[in-house]
Structure 1
């Protein structure tokens, strides 16, 4: 019988193991979401707008890989909840930009704190060596996510 380390010697095996583990961890973290009843698409949209400060609806649709009419509906729902606001485009009067409201920023902060608290609790169950391995892997995982 092969050990886990032997099973992960090939890049394909490592890719498969990472895909499964990261997907499982992502699902578990989603379950820890703050109680705000946003859909994953709405939450991803809010995060994207926060990261980019202000975006046009078209830029946002392209960034999130959805059709513009779908993004328009998502923006309308977030705006109705007071989480996003539309403003005139600074250089093109035909367009608007969307930005996160203080209420939207507070919701995202609560979301992050809730998930980080859950994850911090899980980390306490690991050995110091396992936590050190994760500390070393974190920048590598970040690099993978931006390639």
Structure 2
């Protein structure tokens, strides 16, 4: 349960408080994995294509992403981050890192060492 609470607390650190978790997930995914089709985004986030289309429409209206039509196949559209989308992702990551850094510095060295060992164990579990 503590892991979920920590994740929820970190998600609260955003550059734009009006973005939902789902919207930020799309922006973060495009930042990390590059341009995607709408169906690719929907599959990655485990949502329906119509649901992803609503999310993408909203983010496009806010100027965070854009749709690029394939010049060879006009039916194929790729979704990419704009400079504003990249900036909101970078600023959010910066805010989350700063919050976490501040919280970790407040711990005593023994607790930080315990967390480092636990993080290593969790990484190993995640790769199995």
Scaled by the length of structure 2, the TM-score of the pair is: 0.88
> How far apart, CA to CA, are the structure 2 residues paired with 1:119 and 1:72?
33
Q: Runs ≥4 in structure 1, deviation > 4 angstroms? A: 143-147
Shift of 1:84: 0.6
The 5-angstrom pairing of residues 81-92 of structure 1 reads 81-89=62-70, 92=73
Structure 2 residues without counterparts, runs of 5 or longer: none
Which residues in structure 2 correspond to 1:48-67 (within 5 Å)?
A: 48-67=29-48
Q: Which runs of 5+ in 1 are unaligned?
A: 1-19
Which position in structure 2 is the counterpart of 1:17? none
Q: Could you tell me which of 54, 68, 71 is aligned with 1:73?
A: 54
Structure-1 residue corresponding to 2:8: 27
* TM-score normalised by structure 1 residue count: 0.77
Partners of 1:102 and 1:75 in 2: CA distance: 16
Residue aligning to 1:13: none
- Look at both structures and tell me which one has the larger radius of gyration over its CA atoms: 1
Paired residue secondary structure (1:55): coil
Q: What is residue 45 of structure 1 aligned with on the other side?
A: 26
Alpha-carbon distance in 1 for matches of 2:124, 2:59: 31
Equivalent pairs counted in the alignment come to 128
